[in-house]
Amino acid sequence: MKIETILTPAELPALAQRDLRATACVVFDVLRATSTFVTALHHGAQAIIPVSEIAEALDWKKAEGRRQKAEMILLGGERNGVRISANGIDFDLGNSPREYTPERVRGKIIVSTTTNGTRALQACAKAKIVLAASFLNLAATADFLRGQNEILLVCAGTGENPAAEDIIAAGALVDLLSSGKNTHASKSANSTAARAAYVQAMLTNLEKSIGTSENGQRLLANPDLRDDVAFCAQRDIFNLVAAMQADGSLRKI
């Protein structure tokens, strides 16, 4: 098993030039996109449609709303961390995983656009496998990946910057994948650095460590969103793998 890691969103455009047909990509946007998608799928959402732009989300809902009941489709996501309002339309959901309750999302298709997370997922779309991962479903994701030869961990970041929480989560996955029977896993320098960041974070405390990051600080400063940090720091509360399908949707497998 070979494990590579992309630490910063600056490296995402280059993925378009790369042949990922044999690669399993694992995208982390711990605060909060991938944590939110995993929560929604655990709570019974049918699918998440990750799109890059607000206009794409509106078009998708318009087009698909003609084919199926419009109330089955919810618009979700954020810009600057808060729920989107565009072209006179208020999105149904923001990007707080705590909003994605079973009552709200069961059976629904959620079209989501976020600043970094949905773009990172789309950048990996041509890979053999694309997973959305978080601390919430890390062990299930690791179990799923054990048979894979080439793994690329993708840290979505915050704006143009690397995000400590994504690197720590990627490092936690490197740790899981290179322990036990997999001690022979070959790790890139970035993967080793991510693992060291994870080990360091565990010496402090996971919630505290991710709370010191750029997006952690932004969320903690907002009384409505501050509890998202503690929520997203929970380890393995959901036993599911969130995988991209041929149609680009994320579903629980």
Residue 7 contacts residue 190 (beta carbons within 8 Å):
yes
* Contact string (CB under 6 A) for ligand MLT, positions 107-126, x = contact: -------xxxx---------
In the complex with ligand MLT, the residue whose CB is nearer, 17 or 80, is 80
**Which segment (24-32, 47-55, 63-71, 133-141) binds ligand MLT by CB under 6 A?**
24-32
Is residue 211 near ligand MLT by the rule CB under 6 A? no
Binding ligand MLT by CB under 6 A: which of 39, 122, 134, 215?
215
Is residue 105 near ligand MLT by the rule CB under 6 A? no
Is residue 165 near ligand MLT by the rule CB under 6 A? no
Residue 54 contacts residue 66 (beta carbons within 8 Å):
no
In the complex with ligand MLT, the residue whose CB is nearer, 116 or 178, is 116
Interface of this chain with ligand MLT, residues 59 to 78, rule: CB under 6 A? 78
* Contact string (CB under 6 A) for ligand MLT, positions 33-62, x = contact: x-----------------------------
Nearest residue to 56 via CA among 125, 122, 132, 129? 122
CA-based radius of gyration for the chain:
17
What CA–CA distance (Å, rounded) separates 190 from 184?
17
**Which segment (26-34, 53-61, 182-190, 192-200) binds ligand MLT by CB under 6 A?**
26-34
Instruction: Give the other-Cβ count within 10 Å of 16's Cβ.
Output: 11
Is residue 175 near ligand MLT by the rule CB under 6 A? no
What CA–CA distance (Å, rounded) separates 226 from 98?
11
In Å, how far are 50, 132, 188, 235 from 249, measured between CA atoms?
7, 11, 29, 25
Going edge to edge, which strands form the sheet with 150-155?
Answer: 73-77, 109-113, 47-50, 250-252, 242-244, 129-133, 23-28, 150-155, 2-6, 186-187
How many chain residues bind ligand MLT (CB under 6 A)? 12
> Contact residues for ligand MLT (CB under 6 A)?
29, 31-33, 78, 81, 95, 114-117, 215
